[in-house]
Amino acid sequence: MNVYWRERRRGQRLVLVQEEGADEIEVGGVRETKEGYDAFAKTFGYEPGRAEKGIATLGEAKSFVESFNPWELYEGAQGLTVEPEVRPIEG
C-alpha cells in the first residue's frame, strides 16, 4: 500500500493505492484558487470540518489534509505515511 500526492491541473490529489497495479483511490486534495488554496480530506460521512478554503500556502493546505489521515478509512492502511515525492500528472 502507498499514499502519495499526485499533481493535477490546478493542484494536487492525495491518493491511496492498495496494491501494485490497482487503481488510485482519491482520499484528499488541494486546489489553487484566487484566494489561496482549498483543501479537503475524504470521509464516509458528513464532516464539514474536513474541508477548508483560503489556506495561504500549498504546504499548509497539504498539512491540513494529511492531519486527518484520510487513508486510514480503508482496511489495512493504518500506520502508513505519505511518500515525500509528488508524482507527476498521469498522461
Stated pTM of the model: 0.94
Mind listing the pLDDT tens digit for each residue in 7-65? 999 999 999 999 888 899 999 999 999 999 999 999 999 999 999 999 999 999 999 99
Contact yes or no for 14/2 (Cβ under 8 A): no
Listed residue (55, 51, 49, 62) closest to 14, CA to CA: 62
* Residues 33, 58 contacting (CB under 8 angstroms): no
- Split at pLDDT 50, 70, 90, the class of 91 is low
Residue 68, pLDDT score: 97
Give the Å distances, CA to CA, from 84 to 5, 53, 56, 62: 8, 24, 21, 12
pLDDT of residue 22: 87
d(CA 81, CA 23): 19
DSSP state of 29: E
pLDDT at 39: 98
